[in-house]
Structure 1
Amino acid sequence: MSETRASTPSGKSGGRTSPATFYRQVVAELRKVVWPTQNQVVTYFFVVLVFVLVMMAIVAGLDFAFGKAMFAVFA
């Protein structure tokens, strides 16, 4: 029986790449990224901030309610 090596999706035989090649590939991929504008970043920041504050309020309210219920049941 003959053994065959499975090739990687890129067609290479799985050899190591040099750090310089890796760095060039990273830079090439970062150039493809569509970066958000400053206005978008500020908008996303406030959306996340409001969401987190709402979730904190819900969790705090449930914690308070369940705490009161536990004291009513066991006290």
Structure 2
Amino acid sequence: MSEDGDKDKEDDAQRPSRPDNAASRRGRRGSARKGNGRNNRDQANPQRKSSGAGAGAGSSGGREGSAAKAGTIEEKQPLHQRIVRYIREVLGELRKVVWPTRKQMSTYTVVVLAFMLFMIGLVWALDLLFARVVFAIFG
């Protein structure tokens, strides 16, 4: 923060404000995309916007058509290309994973083993207790 507070206020005024809620964030993301997908869907199927008894039947038919179109596009690709794309996407997601360090991994392992030993001991103790109670009752 600078010593001149007015300068910071001017910078804040130029920056766009953060979205207040999830709906405004979605709207902002959608407007940043080319063609804003929501408007394209509504223009392609004007019955989605209408209300009333006829809207339900018309809107479901439009969804089936768009789903069928999406399915045929992917079916045109050969199987090996779809498999290669899938593997690339998996590797891309694995790069995003924050992997634990060796120290964290050993700590987590010790915690899991200690918890398992505790649970084994608890189940063993309850089993022994119930066995003695049943033996005392039924002799």
| TM-score computed with the length of structure 2 as normaliser | 0.46
Q: Partner of 1:34: helix, strand, or coil?
A: coil
1:20 to 84, 87, 91: 84
Cα gap change, 1:6/1:63 in structure 2, threshold over 3 Å: closer, same or farther? farther
Instruction: Please state which structure has a larger fraction of its residues in helix.
Output: 2
TM-score in terms of structure 1 length: 0.83
Q: CA separation in 2, counterparts of 1:52 and 1:36?
A: 21
Pairing 1:7-46 to 2, within 5 Å after superposition: 7=67, 13-14=70-71, 15-16=74-75, 18-46=82-110
- State the structure with more CA Rg: 2
Equivalenced residue count is: 71
Matched, 1:58 2:122: yes
Structure 1 residue ranges without an equivalent (≥5): none
Q: Residue 13 of structure 1: CA displacement?
A: 1.0
Which residue identity lines up with residue 101 of structure 2 in the other structure? T
Determine the structure 2 residue equivalent to 1:72: 136
Q: Which of the pair has the greater relative contact order for Cα pairs under 8 Å at 6+ separation?
A: 1
How far is 1:33 from its partner?
0.4
Q: Deviations over 1:23-72 (max 9, x none)?
A: 11011000000000000000000000000000110100000000000000
User: Does the residue aligned with 1:13 lie in a helix, a strand or coil?
Assistant: helix
